[in-house]
A and B are shown apart, each in its own frame.
Chain A
Amino acid sequence: IAGITQAPTSQILAAGRRMTLRCTQDMRHNAMYWYRQDLGLGLRLIHYSNTAGTTGKGEVPDGYSVSRANTDDFPLTLASAVPSQTSVYFCASSRLSGRDNEQFFGPGTRLTVL
């Protein structure tokens, strides 16, 4: 089934630990994105990648890193987690052509940092 998947579904993490959130899409979309969603703050872009091999910073990139070694995968790494990174994280992808920039979202990862 074509789409975008994220893993894990949820995670509880001790502060200071390293964590990688995984995101995979099989739609051959050029662009991929990571957002965090917090109550009252809406969706905020963390990092993005317009094509394999390139990445860019979004609105709230500090404390996060990404890589885009291939078209399908776009992992998000928290090098040393802090409680303020407790959030729901959404990965998304888009073609960046055709119908402009319609985005397809994954189901989300709920992360709690204690």
Chain B
Amino acid sequence: GEDVEQSLFLSVREGDSSVINCTYTDSSSTYLYWYKQEPGAGLQLLTYIFSNMDMKQDQRLTVLLNKKDKHLSLRIADTQTGDSAIYFCDRGGTALIFGKGTTLSVSS
């Protein structure tokens, strides 16, 4: 299978929580990342998690890491229309494998 897999689309209503999931085949990297790509722009780092952590919270963002199952998730609380974007999971390291990205659509 793919090195990094994400579901392609997620649609939520404004104010709801969004959960974007990512599974990967292997990672020996110290950090795993989530990038955000807004329309017409390049990717920007959104958040990251140290590989020996299970959870990291940063304002509305919560990252969960399950190393045993090779599963990374990004939860966005109180999702806003400005959160509409493509979100990419990066398992880090030098392999430079991004998933296909999850397009988050937020309706008001």
Binding site for B on A (CB under 8 A): 33, 35, 40-43, 45, 48, 50, 58, 90, 92, 96, 99-108
Contact = CB atoms under 8 A, between A and B. Distances in A.
The B interface is mostly helix, strand or loop, or mixed, namely: loop
Given A42-B101, A90-B43, A108-B41, A100 B96 contact: no
A40 B98 CA distance: 13
Contacts of A92: 42-43
A22 to B, nearest CB: 15
Given A33-B96, A43-B88, A101-B94, A108 B42 contact: yes
A43 to B, nearest CB: 4
The A interface is mostly helix, strand or loop, or mixed, namely: loop
A78 B28 CA distance: 34
Contact of A100 (B29, B43, B97): B29
Contacts of B40: 108
A90 to B, nearest CB: 5
A105 B100 CA distance: 16
B45 interface: yes
B43 A105 contact: yes
B48 A103 contact: no
Nearest to B6: A42
A112 B94 CA distance: 30
A80 B102 CA distance: 33
Contacts of A100: 29-31, 92-93
Given A41-B100, A101-B31, 17 more contacts: A35-B98, A42-B88, A42-B99, A43-B43, A45-B97, A58-B96, A99-B48, A100-B31, A100-B92, A100-B93, A101-B29, A101-B93, A102-B45, A103-B35, A103-B90, A104-B45, A105-B42
